[in-house]
């Protein structure tokens, strides 16, 4: 009797940064990991780096395009035979911190298409298969959903939308599928980029000291929360947003 295929997870934006850290953790935990990313160079490189640790494949994907997301899910199922979890991590940073009076509609739409609509599209096409497995979804928002710097309207709106979309999905997909969100704070990812862009972090002692936890975050910090939320240990948790920021959003700051 052949063994059942390994539990399978899709990690969008999994080729670099936080997504790559999540992919590494889940491969090491025994998951079959599908890295979905629109940067083919980074995706191929990440898959090659992680292949020695377990089952991993790369599928080129633009989460802002429905046909690309549809193809991602179909290819994942054809290759892996099942889908048990979805990590919606793909995202764009704010377009140049442009003042709202000069923010072009196209810039605004580009960020929302990837950061928010991309989550919707991935869930839309993955949900029927996750239902069958009693699966789990984790979305990645940001502490920008809760507090802001100037001229970050597009990014902040997109991440606030992800938090709200998460609890709406938890109500719509439960009890078959649990849906939770993680809002990272400062996570240092310079050494988690593709090799052409990778460099050592340039962190000062004061960068670490300003965090109540005493240090800047790392991709492994977010990956640990993802691993927990998609595990059976989190079976009574859904519709929640977990802030993982070293305590910064609880810190009262006076100048």
CATH number assigned to the domain comprising residue 204: 3.40.50.720
Residue 3 forms part of a structural domain: no
The residues facing 217 across adjacent strands are 187
SS3 sequence, 180-223?
EEEEECCECCHHHCCCCCCCCCCCCHHHHHCCCCCCCECHHHHH
In a domain, 224, yes or no: yes
Q: Whole-angstrom Cα distance, residue 238 to residue 167?
A: 8
Question: Which pLDDT tens digit goes with each residue over 45-87?
Answer: 999 999 999 999 999 999 999 999 999 999 999 999 999 999 9
Give the span between the Cα atoms of 9 and 185, in whole angstroms.
24
Residue 95 has pLDDT above 90, yes or no: no
Q: Taking the CA atoms of the chain, what radius of gyration do you get in angstroms?
A: 18
Per-residue pLDDT, 207: 86
Q: Is residue 83 assigned to a domain?
A: yes
pLDDT for the residue numbered 96: 65
Tell whether the torsion through CA atoms of 75, 229, 28 and 12 is positive or negative.
positive
Average pLDDT score over the chain: 94
Question: Would you say residue 106 lies in a domain?
Answer: yes
Options 31, 58, 108, 155, the catalytic residue? 155
Confidence class of residue 4 from pLDDT cuts 50, 70 and 90? low
In a domain, 150, yes or no: yes
Residue-range definition of the domain harbouring residue 199: 8-250
pLDDT at 35: 98
What 39-48 contacts at long range (C-beta under 8 Å, 24+ apart), as own/partner pairs, is: 39/15, 39/194, 41/194, 41/196, 42/15, 42/16, 42/193, 42/194, 43/14, 43/15, 45/15, 45/194, 45/195, 46/14, 46/15, 46/16, 46/20, 46/194
Q: Is residue 255 part of a domain?
A: no
155 is catalytic: yes
Structure tokens belonging to residue 152? 């970050």
Q: Coil, strand, or helix at residue 131? A: helix
Count up the domains in the chain and report the number.
Answer: 1
What value does the mean pLDDT take over residues 29-49?
A: 97
Report if residue 28 sits inside a domain: yes
pLDDT digits (tens, 9 = 90+) for 188-242: 988 888 888 888 888 898 889 899 999 999 999 999 999 999 999 999 999 999 9
Torsion angles phi and psi, residue 187, rounded to 5: -115, 120
pLDDT for 196 equals: 85
- Comparing C-alpha atoms, which of 158, 210, 178 is closest to residue 84? 178
* Residue 233 in domain: yes
Separation CA 118–CA 176 (nearest Å): 22
């Amino acid at each position: 009797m052949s063994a059942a295929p390994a539990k399978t997870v899709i990690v969008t934006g999994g080729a670099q940064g936080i997504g790559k850290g999540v992919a590494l953790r889940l491969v090491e935990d025994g998951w079959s990991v599908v890295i979905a990313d629109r940067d083919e160079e980074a995706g191929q490189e990440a898959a090659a780096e992680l292949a020695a640790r377990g089952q991993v494949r790369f599928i080129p994907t633009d989460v802002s395009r429905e046909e690309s997301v549809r193809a991602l899910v179909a290819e994942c199922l054809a290759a892996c035979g099942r889908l048990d979890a979805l990590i919606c991590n793909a995202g764009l940073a704010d377009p140049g911190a442009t003042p709202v009076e000069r923010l072009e509609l196209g810039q605004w739409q580009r960020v929302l298409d990837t950061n928010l609509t991309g989550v919707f599209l991935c869930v839309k096409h993955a949900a029927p298969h996750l239902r069958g497995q009693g699966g789990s979804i984790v979305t990645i928002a940001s502490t920008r959903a809760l507090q802001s710097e100037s001229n970050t309207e597009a990014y902040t709106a997109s991440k606030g939308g992800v938090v709200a979309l998460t609890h709406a999905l938890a109500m719509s997909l439960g009890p078959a599928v649990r849906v939770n969100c993680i809002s990272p704070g400062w996570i240092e990812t310079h050494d988690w980029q593709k090799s052409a862009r990778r460099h050592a972090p340039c962190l000062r002692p004061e960068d670490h000291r300003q965090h109540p936890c005493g240090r800047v975050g790392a991709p492994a910090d977010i990956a640990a929360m993802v691993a927990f939320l998609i595990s059976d240990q989190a079976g009574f948790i859904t519709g929640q947003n977990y802030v993982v920021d070293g305590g910064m959003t609880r810190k009262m700051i006076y100048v």
